[in-house]
Each structure stands twice: as structure tokens, then as C-alpha cells.
Amino acid sequence: MLFRVTMVCAIALAAPMAAQAHHSYAMFDRSKTVTLNGTIRQFQWTNPHSWIQLTTPNDAGGTDEWSIEMGSPFELLRVGWTSTTVKAGDKVSIQVHPVKDGSKGGGFVSGTDAGGHALGGGK
């Protein structure tokens, strides 16, 4: 009985830590997909999520920078990405689910390089 009570307490204490370890994708509007054509400024191959910083031309003649959230390196490896799939200066077309608050960010959906090839082999 003491073992069972100890296990229940241990699980109850660990559950909040596990829940905080990963956030949801609720910030992205999954009912919309936006296509961004631009230049990779930086590709961050990091845990828990990889990121692409993408500069795109805007209507005012300048550029906007978009922060695009991706999966973990492990998840990306499974669909054909490597740490060198994209690099600074690459021209790409990327589809994202935009951030609901309208800021320049989104969740990666798919993309192609300048030659029209799927980035990372696609999903």
C-alpha cells in the first residue's frame, strides 16, 4: 500500500513538469495557410524546436522578418531535413500557419527551394 501511495504522489508531482515541457500550437491559425517567398536569414537547428528566420519583401519597398517555428531536429530528420538543408542566403518559398495575433510568425507547413524541390524531402 505504501508503494502505491508513493507512486501516485510521484506521478502527480511529475505531471505538471511534463505539461510545461512542451507548449501547444494553439497560437497558430491552422485554418489559414500563408505562402512566404523570401531569403533565409538564419536556420536554427535547436531543441526543442528549430526555427527559420526569413526575410520577405513588403509593400513599402523594405523587408519584413518572419520567425517560423518547426519541429525538433529529431522530428525534422525523420522527414528528410538535416542541419544544412537550408542556409543563410537561400531563396525559398515557405507555407506557414500564421500566428493568430497577426505578428510576423508562423508554424512551418511545407516549403520549396529556388529550384522548386521540396525542402527536406517533404512530409
**How long is the chain?**
123
Q: Which residues are CB-contacts of 77 (< 8 A; sequence separation ≥ 6)? A: none
pTM beyond 0.85, yes or no: no
| pLDDT computed for residue 78 by the predictor | 94
d(CA 47, CA 49): 5
Q: Closest Cα to residue 81, out of 44, 54, 48, 107?
A: 44
| pLDDT computed for residue 26 by the predictor | 85
| pLDDT computed for residue 121 by the predictor | 62
What is the mean pLDDT of each successive set of 10 residues along the chain, which is 123 residues long? 50 44 75 97 96 97 97 94 96 97 96 92 50
